[in-house]
Amino acid sequence: MNEQKRPGKGNATYKGSQRGVKGSAGRSGGREEIRRGNDTAAGTVRAPKDRGDRPGGLLAAPQEADRRKGHAAGGRFGGKPAGRPKAASHGNAEELRSGDRIVVTIKRLGINGEGIGYYRRKAVFIDGALPDEVVKAEVTETQPKFIKAQLTEVEKRSPDRIEPPCPVFGSCGGCQIQHISYEGQLRAKTELVREAFARYAELADVKIKPMLGMEHPWDYRNKAQLQLKRQGREVIAGLYEAGSHDIVDISGCPIQHPEVNRAVEQVKSVLEELEIPLHKENGAKDGVRTIVVRHGFQSGHLQVTLISAGSRLPRQDDLVQRLRLALPGVTGIALNVNPRKTPLIFGERTITLWGEDTMEESLGDLHFSLSPRAFFQLNPLQTVKLYESVRTAAGLTGRETVVDAYCGTGTIGLWLAPYAREVRGIESIPEAVEDAKQNAIRNGRANASFHTGAAEELLPRWAKSGLTPDVIVADPPRTGLDARFLEAVLRVKPEKFVYVSCNPSTLAKDCKVLLDGGYQIQWVQPVDMFPQTSHVECVVGICRVDT
């Protein structure tokens, strides 16, 4: 899954079928892209294009006035639009105009948590509407292939609809489905996976195992990546409001671990107290643009990274002293320098201001060192279930050569190494590869090696030089697998291919290529890595047909 401008969360807005995060200084999904979730190692803040996803998607959050009014459903998406919209009386969807009112039966949930129904056979995307509901909505956009509309009233309510507990749900954009009961969320996400395989892989009856959910689907994120603004003297840290440049304060975010929330509050008050300039504030080029806080659930370690365009922060020494006092558990304070106007949150240079260069964390028996830019799964409790599913799919006997493609800090490869003859990891971010190498040494996994490069370049090169892996595990960002990587997989023909994905659409499309190339899907195991968001993570066990 990969982290976008709204940290790790699905905050994309749409222009036609092309997804792009607005207000970009910086989600899923996720694996997160919301992100995600997502969360890429580079802290990618631009949602990549969802290759060929259906048009449309998340509607812009309603205007503040509308939100205050609420709507009949008790949700946060609608509110009666201003003016007097007229009920549509057209027999033809093409004649609909913005402002027309329509009644729609919602058929399913879209990948961004929006309700999807049809008006005269044309798809209508309505943020906040749920499957099986009959809703009234006001048309906000008409396109040749779809219509977007704003929910104004729920005529027939889904039994899954609940009151979202978070006060900024609907405006912060981090969570998309808090208005659905948790059981309903798991069902809806499973349906998303089923639809993706039916649509993109032409597999209507793929075996989908029951989704692995959480007992307590809150407090699960180990990392916050927040933009900053000043309001009076107060520093606000939050996510960009959907479809705007405004930052929504997400203090006490209910999906963040309480330690992360506490640390964010402390960092904010130190920035306030020392009057540290924020990015571009009063012309400051060296102000703080973003704060990143990561907490080790097992280790209790705390890593604080401040991101700025400058390579030295104003009043840096005082700032470090005060942060150390305010955060007794902090193990490392770093400055990441990002001078470029880019959608990426992290720049390439990280300077340790105090403490350790890396943070310690454990998963199962494994111990990891994580540098500030290195990707690490955002939901550690669920990660163990995810990796165990990967191990089941890989079916190792101790004799196999395994390639762990898109390996991050080597977590999956190291998880599998005790059960394989050899593991080779590929990762594009050099620091993550360094971390992975250290992690291999530290965990005594002498049969695991890690290599810097693009998976689509290294795997073909290894194939040319005669490598014949028995198992390939791939855990790419939301954009899915590169065509050159897939070609190389079909050339080396591993017995097993294990696909870990945070995007059901690209997952199903890539699986289709493998199916056409002589593979079959054994099962799909969805794992709920990001409760309350629309992000869906899956492990797919795939095997060569002749095996």
Ligand X SMILES: C[S@@+](CC[C@H](N)C(=O)[O-])C[C@H]1O[C@@H](n2cnc3c(N)ncnc32)[C@H](O)[C@@H]1O
429 lines the binding site for ligand X (CB under 6 A)? yes
475 lines the binding site for ligand X (CB under 6 A)? yes
1 lines the binding site for ligand X (CB under 6 A)? yes
Cα distance between residue 361 and residue 383, in whole Å: 13
Q: Which is nearer to ligand X, 41 or 330 (CB)?
A: 41
Write phi, then psi, for 333 (nearest 5 degrees).
-125, 125
Is the dihedral angle over the CA atoms 12, 13, 19, 25 positive or is it negative?
negative
Query: Are 490 and 474 in contact, with CB atoms under 8 Å apart?
Result: no
The token duo for 237 is 């840290």
Write phi, then psi, for 15 (nearest 5 degrees).
-125, 105
Kind and range of the H or E element at 402?
Answer: strand 401-405
Q: Check the annotation: does 457 bind a ligand.
A: no
- Interface pick for ligand X out of 428, 443, 506, 534 (rule CB under 6 A): 428
Smallest gap from Cβ 64 to ligand X, in A, equals 35
Smallest gap from Cβ 344 to ligand X, in A, equals 11
- Interface pick for ligand X out of 133, 195, 249, 427 (rule CB under 6 A): 427
Contact string 362-401 vs ligand X (x = CB under 6 A): -------------xxx------------------------
Smallest gap from Cβ 242 to ligand X, in A, equals 23
Q: Pick the stretch among 98-106, 201-209, 474-482, 511-519 that binds ligand X (CB under 6 A).
A: 474-482
412 lines the binding site for ligand X (CB under 6 A)? yes
Q: Check the annotation: does 427 bind a ligand.
A: yes
Query: Are 402 and 420 in contact, with CB atoms under 8 Å apart?
Result: yes
Cα distance between residue 485 and residue 195, in whole Å: 25
User: Which is the catalytic residue, given 172, 407, 502, 538?
Assistant: 502
List own/partner pairs for 90-96 with CB under 8 A and 24 or more apart: 90/120, 91/120, 92/120, 93/119, 93/120, 93/121, 93/122, 93/147, 94/122, 96/139, 96/142, 96/147
Q: Is 511 designated active site?
A: no
477 lines the binding site for ligand X (CB under 6 A)? yes
Q: Under the phi-then-psi rule, with left for phi > 0, alpha for psi from -120 to 50, and beta for the rest, what region is 480?
A: left
411 lines the binding site for ligand X (CB under 6 A)? yes
Kind and range of the H or E element at 386?
Answer: helix 380-394
| Owner of token pair 């999807």 | 116
- Interface pick for ligand X out of 14, 125, 406, 499 (rule CB under 6 A): 406
Contact positions with ligand X (CB under 6 A) in 80-99: none
| Burial class of 210 by CB neighbour count within 10 A (0 to 12, 13 to 18, 19+) | exposed
Kind and range of the H or E element at 393?
Answer: helix 380-394
Contact positions with ligand X (CB under 6 A) in 2-31: 31
Collapse the DSSP code of 444 into the 3-class scheme (helix H, G, I; strand E, B; otherwise coil) and give the result: coil
Q: Which is nearer to ligand X, 220 or 376 (CB)?
A: 376
Cα distance between residue 424 and residue 447, in whole Å: 8
Residue with CB nearest ligand X?
Answer: 408
Q: Check the annotation: does 246 bind a ligand.
A: no
Q: How many residues bind ligand X (CB under 6 A)?
A: 23
408 lines the binding site for ligand X (CB under 6 A)? yes
Q: What is the 8-class DSSP label of residue 327? A: -
Q: What is the DSSP string of 335-360?
A: EEE--S--SBSS-SEEEEEEE-SSEE
Smallest gap from Cβ 478 to ligand X, in A, equals 8
158 lines the binding site for ligand X (CB under 6 A)? no
Cα pseudo-dihedral 195, 201, 202, 204, rounded to 10 = -40
426 lines the binding site for ligand X (CB under 6 A)? yes
Cα distance between residue 415 and residue 412, in whole Å: 5
Smallest gap from Cβ 455 to ligand X, in A, equals 4
Pair type for strands 401-405 and 146-156: unpaired
Query: Are 62 and 69 in contact, with CB atoms under 8 Å apart?
Result: no
Q: Pick the stretch among 241-249, 281-289, 352-360, 426-434 that binds ligand X (CB under 6 A).
A: 426-434
Q: Which is nearer to ligand X, 237 or 459 (CB)?
A: 459
Q: Pick the stretch among 138-146, 209-217, 230-238, 405-413 that binds ligand X (CB under 6 A).
A: 405-413
Q: Pick the stretch among 174-182, 255-263, 272-280, 402-410 that binds ligand X (CB under 6 A).
A: 402-410
Smallest gap from Cβ 369 to ligand X, in A, equals 13
Contact positions with ligand X (CB under 6 A) in 430-459: 432, 454-456
Which residues belong to the annotated binding site for S-adenosyl-L-methionine? 377, 406, 427, 475
* Positions that interact with ligand X (CB under 6 A): 1, 31, 40-41, 375-377, 406-408, 411-412, 426-429, 432, 454-456, 475-477
Which residues belong to the annotated binding site? 377, 406, 427, 475
Catalytic residues: 502
